[in-house]
Amino acid sequence: MNQAHPYELLTPDMVLDAIDSTGFLTDARILALNSYENRVYQVGIEGASPLIAKFYRPERWTNEQIIEEHEFTQALKDLEISVVPPMADDEGNTLREFQGFRFALYLRQGGHAPNLDDFDALLSLGRTLGRIHALGQARPFVHRPALNIQTFGRDSYDFLLANDFIPASLRESYRTLGADLLARCETLFARVDYTPIRLHGDCHPGNILWREEVPHFVDFDDARMGPAIQDLWMLLSGEREQQTLQLAEVLEGYREFCDFDLAELALIEALRSLRIMHYSAWLARRWTDPAFPRHFPWFNTERYWGEHILELREQLAAMNEPPLVIY
């Protein structure tokens, strides 16, 4: 008999009991939010605005790694940067525990994804990221991992091959292409002498809430050490000319608060490639969680892996193109 996944024990009643254990009085309203790595809920509170409760995936982060993320977001909040740090209890603790589950509570933050076609919005995003990185470079994370070729690329590549996720008909194509892709990433990274800093780590538009002309950055769960460009390149879209214009606007705002080494622009396609590899391996690693086959039914099919290999081929070609240039 298959052992139940730990999250199957996290019932709505347990979520409500966990929140009640912190001293808040819930009103029995609970809404599961769009999160798969962790479990995140909006929970109604008697006589007050709802709270957001994030229940951490068991065995993913250590307590020290979670607290390090919490401290980073609180330090940003102390500088009046619009992020959403976890709420502390009367003793100042932000990481809580209930029946084996670790969780944190957050104030609810409203907003919508930013309009990345609006240059004024890009300028504002750049300014905020510059402020985040100015603090991020002040000292390193001690416990949280780094974003690099090993953690995002080679570990992903090795995991997929070792666990037979790649269909036999595509295995050799993936093996040789993946090796070539990683070698190209190594070459590009070797050319750029960057200093890793503390990052948001997953700075896509879905983790930025736009409200009252202000960007609010949420979900620092993937915060780690890495090159500054990692938090910038996901704001770019469209053809090369359009990306160049967008990047120029972001960097204009960014450089008001933090220096940026233009040499890091050569890492954009390598970082995109590593993210693609890491995403597929992430789905594979989580496949025993019942939520994943239910919400990602297209994964782990022959068609999926064929399209994944095609995407990696396109990335190998992209890494051979000249990087974006900003003057």
Q: Which amino acid is at 122?
A: L
In the block, which residue shows the tokens 């190209």? 184
Residue 52: CB atoms within 10 A of its CB come to: 20
- Is residue 13 part of the annotated active site? The answer reads no
Catalytic residue (choose from 118, 158, 202, 261): 202
- Is residue 221 part of the annotated active site? The answer reads no
Q: Rounded to an integer, what distance in angstroms lies between the CA atom of residue 317 and that of residue 320?
A: 5
Long-range contacts of 104-108 (CB under 8 A, 24+ apart): 104/53, 104/54, 104/56, 104/66, 104/70, 105/19, 105/22, 105/24, 105/51, 105/52, 105/53, 105/54, 106/51, 106/52, 106/53, 106/54, 107/49, 107/51, 107/52, 108/42, 108/49, 108/50, 108/51, 108/52
CB 73 within 8 A of CB 84: yes
Catalytic residue (choose from 219, 222, 259, 289): 219
Buried b (16+ CB within 10 A) or exposed e, 310-322: eebeebbeebeee
Tell me the angle at which helices 302-318 and 168-191 cross, rounded to the nearest 10 degrees.
30
CA distances from 174 to 15, 152, 209, 257 (A): 42, 16, 37, 42
In the block, which residue shows the tokens 């084996």? 100
Strand order in 96-98's β-sheet?
26-32, 39-45, 48-55, 101-107, 96-98
CB 132 within 8 A of CB 217: yes
Residues belonging to the active site: 202, 219
